[in-house]
Amino acid sequence: MSGDHTHNDSQIESGSRVNDAHKHKDKHKDKEHRHKDHKKDKDRERSKYSNSEHKDSEKKHRDKDREKMKHKDGSVERHKDKEKRKEEKIRSLDGKPKKEKENGFASPPRIKSEPDNDSFYPSPKHEKSLKRERDDDDSEFKPKKIKTENDKKAKKRKQEDEEDIKPKKKTKDKKGEVADGKKKAKKEPEEKWKWWEEERYTDGVKWKFLEHKGPVFAPPYEPLPSNIKFYYDEKPMKLSEKAEEVATFFAKMLDHEYTTKDIFRKNFFKDWRKEMTSEEKAKITDLGKCNFTEMSDYFKAQSEAKKQMSKEEKQKIKEENERLLQEYGFCVMDNHKERIANFRIEPPGLFRGRGDHPKMGMLKRRIRPEDIIINCSKDSKHPKPPPGTKWKEVRHDNKVTWLVSWTENIQGSIKYIMLNPSSRIKGEKDWQKYETARRLKKCVDRIRSQYRDDWKSKEMRIRQRSVALYFIDKLALRAGNEKEEGETADTVGCCSLRVEHIKLYPEKDGQEFVVEFDFLGKDSIRYYNKVPVEKRVFKNLQLFMENKQPEDDLFDRLNTSILNKHLQELMDGLTAKVFRTYNASITLQQQLKELTSPEENIPAKILSYNRANRAVAILCNHQRAPPKTFEKSMQNLQTKIDAKKDQLADAKRELKSAKADAKVRRDEKSKKAVESKKKAVQRIEEQLMKLEVQATDREENKQIALGTSKLNYLDPRISVAWCKKWGIPVEKIYNKTQREKFAWAIDMADEDFEF
């Protein structure tokens, strides 16, 4: 396997590499920026992850980290700097589910399982029969061969679009079956609309009719009462309204650690000064001399007072919110009332990016009607801007799904108001996503064998592409788009990995060809993993790293656009992220099969489900900060466990004496007593076990977030099928919101569903 390829490798090196380093102008440029950036980095302070609050255990982890890094380091200076920075900001992961982490994930290593894939998976034929006619081919789905029923409905949709929407119904509605449900609650448009039984739009049209009330703006600023003062240089100072408002943003964050960070303070102060009058600007020149504590205390008191409000007052607020929701929280899209996800405009405040963000502390400005673009249908009742104001624009673009948009001032990106996940428009897309992943399942073997062949390619770009794809597939890494330097925190994904993010060990911990990954991914969450890889991959990585600086790109001949173009050729609709979806879902399905024991009771089965879910979360590296109350709640649980243990001891003692008693007396009654004591012991043992299992479960979940994978990566039909198969109420797995989002899956998946 090896010899000749080593040869091959070196050929390539000499061939393409030399030019490589400088061929890509932009990449090169990038690097220079990055160097500069290092200096900046130095003054950057620790990120949220060094948070003081998760004290003990957290610190321990950190220390471990540090050791590890020392251990592995010993190189370049710059690197050290970086490492130091990393140490500080990184949220340590290891120390806990180590076994799982180290070999990637608990689930069977994918590559290894390749050979038996065929036996494991159902045949393609079977697959096909499961598919509904409107399945995947999504984009180029042709409306033709639809069941007549669908046909009618499709027609109906068209008709109705042309008419005026809501006033009518229940007349000659073709959906007679549903009609009466519609009637009873006039607000609820046809109880539960099964959009998944209807035909989808083709050719990029997203809707035919769209009407909504526009956004809800942030409440205007309310100036502070005059007795609440701001002090500059020990002296009280009355601020102009604008300056005061921005000051309150800072005051509200005062006990947050980040108000002590230089970058945060610098950015804040700069933007604050922009809001000041010229007199204020002249006077206030040093943030260090600003005293916001009175303001801060005032807000604390306010929120305290809010908590203490009477029930009636709270009720009133609740009702007002409900009213707002009813008025602005819904839209009509194609004849159906749909819930809007975020109808409130983001209020002004100080920007806090995640991780080590260069723009933290900047002022996120207030959005006015003049900033807002409204999207709705021409023939709808357009939302009115607040009195005396105008929208920036009203447009009628039915090729997009958003209702409202505006441009945000921190990154200059566009923000949108869109529909809830329970809406047709989101649901269809979600469904389609899983269908694409299922199509990948059918050809993943082919793709895998191809990229393995490509490891031997004589073209550098192809080798890089194939190794990157291997990582994306095996480790579920994100694609890794390039990002603008200095605009965001320094994070990477697969294609943007740098040499400094991996370490190669020909041999480590008894395993050959180990790659150690250590980088910050999305949301500055650390990815740390040690993975044994194929020799060829290892050799390739050595090749890619040769003659490079730590801050150089590992895959200098690759980016996400190249990769996705390639993937597109392998399978229609295939992109890098499909692998994550596919691997997450297939892992869940497989783990469920493996972990569910038929004889177990429902709680035990649910535990198995959670374990399967957790395997996926670990695979996808979905982490969370340990809940603030974690230690305490663990303690509570432990107390319960201890109490249960005592109880058990008591019960056992009683059993013993009952037995002794029975031995002496030998009568029915004492025998019965023994039996009942025995049962009691059993029951208590069971309860104890449950508690202990719960404790384990919680401990294992300390830093792992299950929600993200549940919501975004796991084909809900797998879970629904599992529930049906084992008689688990679906409510045990999905809460109300989740059931709404996955209504399509709950409705259509039966217990034989195979992903």
Partner DNA sequence: GGTAATACTTAGTATACCACGG
Partner DNA sequence: CCGTGGTATACTAAGTATTACC
Give catalytic residues, as residue numbers.
Answer: 713
Contact pattern from residue 352 through residue 371 relative to DNA, giving x for each residue in contact according to CB under 7 A and a dash for the rest: xxxx-x------x-------
Q: Toward DNA, which CB reaches closer, 532 or 626?
A: 626
Q: Is 629 in the site for DNA (CB under 7 A)?
A: yes
Q: Is 136 in the site for DNA (CB under 7 A)?
A: no
Q: Is 670 in the site for DNA (CB under 7 A)?
A: no
Task: Name the token pair of 330.
Answer: 């819904």
| Total number of residues that touch DNA (CB under 7 A) | 84
Q: Is 300 in the site for DNA (CB under 7 A)?
A: no
Q: Toward DNA, which CB reaches closer, 482 or 600?
A: 482
**CB-based contact 97:127 (threshold 8 Å):** no
Which residues, 6 or more positions from 732, have their beta carbon under 8 angstroms from its beta carbon? 602, 606, 723
Using CB under 7 A, which residues numbered 729 to 748 contact DNA? 735-738
Query: Of 291, 296, 335, 401, which one interacts with DNA (CB under 7 A)?
Result: 401
Q: Toward DNA, which CB reaches closer, 19 or 481?
A: 481
Residues in a beta bridge with 528:
518
Contact pattern from residue 683 through residue 722 relative to DNA, giving x for each residue in contact according to CB under 7 A and a dash for the rest: ----------------------x-xxx--xx---------
Q: Which of 599, 687, 695 is nearest to 646 (CA)?
A: 687
Task: Name the token pair of 356.
Answer: 């080590």
Instruction: For 517, list phi and psi in degrees, rounded to 5.
Output: -100, 140
Calpha distance 289→235 (Å, rounded): 10
439 exposed, middle or buried (CB, 10 Å; 0-12, 13-18, 19+)?
A: buried
Q: Shortest distance, CB of residue 206 to DNA, whole angstroms?
A: 6
Question: Which of 37-45, 510-518, 631-639, 719-727 is the region at the interface with DNA (rule: CB under 7 A)?
Answer: 631-639
Query: Of 371, 408, 654, 685, which one interacts with DNA (CB under 7 A)?
Result: 408
Neighbours of 171 (CB within 10 A): 6
Q: Shortest distance, CB of residue 329 to DNA, whole angstroms?
A: 8
Using CB under 7 A, which residues numbered 310 to 329 contact DNA? 318, 321
Give SS3 for 153: helix
Q: Is 550 in the site for DNA (CB under 7 A)?
A: no
Beta-sheet pairing, 336-339 with 363-364: unpaired
Q: Shortest distance, CB of residue 312 to DNA, whole angstroms?
A: 12
Q: Toward DNA, which CB reaches closer, 368 or 426?
A: 426
Q: Shortest distance, CB of residue 625 to DNA, whole angstroms?
A: 4
Which residues, 6 or more positions from 586, have their beta carbon under 8 angstroms from its beta carbon? 441, 755
Q: Shortest distance, CB of residue 366 to DNA, whole angstroms?
A: 12
Q: Which of 706, 716, 713 is nearest to 738 (CA)?
A: 716
Q: Is 383 in the site for DNA (CB under 7 A)?
A: no
DSSP per residue, 409-457: TTT--EEEE-B-TTSHHHHHHHHHHHHHHHHHHHHHHHHHHHHHHHTT-
Q: Is 374 in the site for DNA (CB under 7 A)?
A: no
Calpha distance 645→662 (Å, rounded): 25
Q: Is 594 in the site for DNA (CB under 7 A)?
A: no
Does the CA dihedral 593-595-597-600 come out positive or negative? negative
Q: Toward DNA, which CB reaches closer, 359 or 677?
A: 359
Give SS3 for 292: coil
Q: Shortest distance, CB of residue 612 to DNA, whole angstroms?
A: 17
Query: Of 400, 604, 641, 748, which one interacts with DNA (CB under 7 A)?
Result: 400
Rg for the chain, CA atoms, rounded: 30
Query: Of 344, 392, 461, 671, which one interacts with DNA (CB under 7 A)?
Result: 344
Q: Shortest distance, CB of residue 685 to DNA, whole angstroms?
A: 21
Q: Toward DNA, which CB reaches closer, 289 or 683?
A: 683
Q: Is 581 in the site for DNA (CB under 7 A)?
A: yes
Instruction: For 248, list phi and psi in degrees, rounded to 5.
Output: -65, -30
Residues in a beta bridge with 350:
363
235 exposed, middle or buried (CB, 10 Å; 0-12, 13-18, 19+)?
A: exposed
Q: Shortest distance, CB of residue 106 to DNA, whole angstroms?
A: 18
Using CB under 7 A, which residues numbered 14 to 33 contact DNA? 26
Using CB under 7 A, which residues numbered 499 to 528 contact DNA? 521-525
Give SS3 for 119: helix
Q: Shortest distance, CB of residue 80 to DNA, whole angstroms?
A: 24
Q: Toward DNA, which CB reaches closer, 9 or 338?
A: 338
Q: Is 351 in the site for DNA (CB under 7 A)?
A: yes
Calpha distance 508→484 (Å, rounded): 36
Question: What's the length of the chain?
Answer: 755
Q: Is 203 in the site for DNA (CB under 7 A)?
A: no
Question: Which of 219-227, 292-300, 346-354, 548-556 is the region at the interface with DNA (rule: CB under 7 A)?
Answer: 346-354
**CB-based contact 107:619 (threshold 8 Å):** yes
Residues in a beta bridge with 516:
503, 530
Calpha distance 566→563 (Å, rounded): 5
The DSSP letter of residue 553 is B
Q: Toward DNA, which CB reaches closer, 106 or 360?
A: 360
Using CB under 7 A, which residues numbered 424 to 453 contact DNA? 426, 429-430, 433
Contact pattern from residue 70 through residue 109 relative to DNA, giving x for each residue in contact according to CB under 7 A and a dash for the rest: ----------------------------------------
Task: Name the token pair of 645.
Answer: 């243990």
Q: Is 200 in the site for DNA (CB under 7 A)?
A: no
Question: Which of 112-120, 162-170, 339-347, 745-753 is the region at the interface with DNA (rule: CB under 7 A)?
Answer: 339-347
Amino acid identity, position 569: E
Q: Toward DNA, which CB reaches closer, 178 or 443?
A: 443
Q: Toward DNA, which CB reaches closer, 251 or 525?
A: 525
Q: Toward DNA, which CB reaches closer, 522 or 659?
A: 522
Query: Of 315, 481, 547, 676, which one interacts with DNA (CB under 7 A)?
Result: 481
Neighbours of 25 (CB within 10 A): 8
Using CB under 7 A, which residues numbered 37 to 56 contact DNA? 48
Torsional class of 369: left (φ above 0), alpha (ψ -120 to 50), beta (otherwise): alpha
Q: Which helix (H) or strand (E) holds 508?
A: strand 502-508
Amino acid identity, position 688: L
Q: Shortest distance, CB of residue 70 to DNA, whole angstroms?
A: 26
Q: Which helix (H) or strand (E) holds 33?
A: helix 25-43
Question: Which of 72-80, 288-296, 338-346, 382-390 is the region at the interface with DNA (rule: CB under 7 A)?
Answer: 338-346
Query: What Cα–Cα distance (Å) separates residue 719 from each residue in 17, 126, 180?
Result: 48, 20, 31
Q: Toward DNA, which CB reaches closer, 241 or 487?
A: 487
DSSP per residue, 639-681: HHHHHHHHHHHHHHHHHHHHHHHHHHH--HHHHHHHHHHHHHH
Query: Of 349, 371, 382, 724, which one interacts with DNA (CB under 7 A)?
Result: 349
Q: How many CA within 13 A on the CB side of residue 408?
A: 17
Residues in a beta bridge with 394:
374
Q: Is 561 in the site for DNA (CB under 7 A)?
A: yes
Q: Shortest distance, CB of residue 696 to DNA, whole angstroms?
A: 14
Question: Which of 73-81, 178-186, 207-215, 343-351 is the region at the interface with DNA (rule: CB under 7 A)?
Answer: 343-351
Question: Which of 69-77, 341-349, 377-385, 645-653 is the region at the interface with DNA (rule: CB under 7 A)?
Answer: 341-349
Q: Is 576 in the site for DNA (CB under 7 A)?
A: yes
Using CB under 7 A, which residues numbered 153 to 182 contact DNA? none
Question: Which of 158-166, 453-461, 476-484, 648-656 is the region at the interface with DNA (rule: CB under 7 A)?
Answer: 476-484
Neighbours of 445 (CB within 10 A): 14
Q: Is 636 in the site for DNA (CB under 7 A)?
A: yes
Across the chain, how many H-helices and E-strands are there?
A: 28, 15
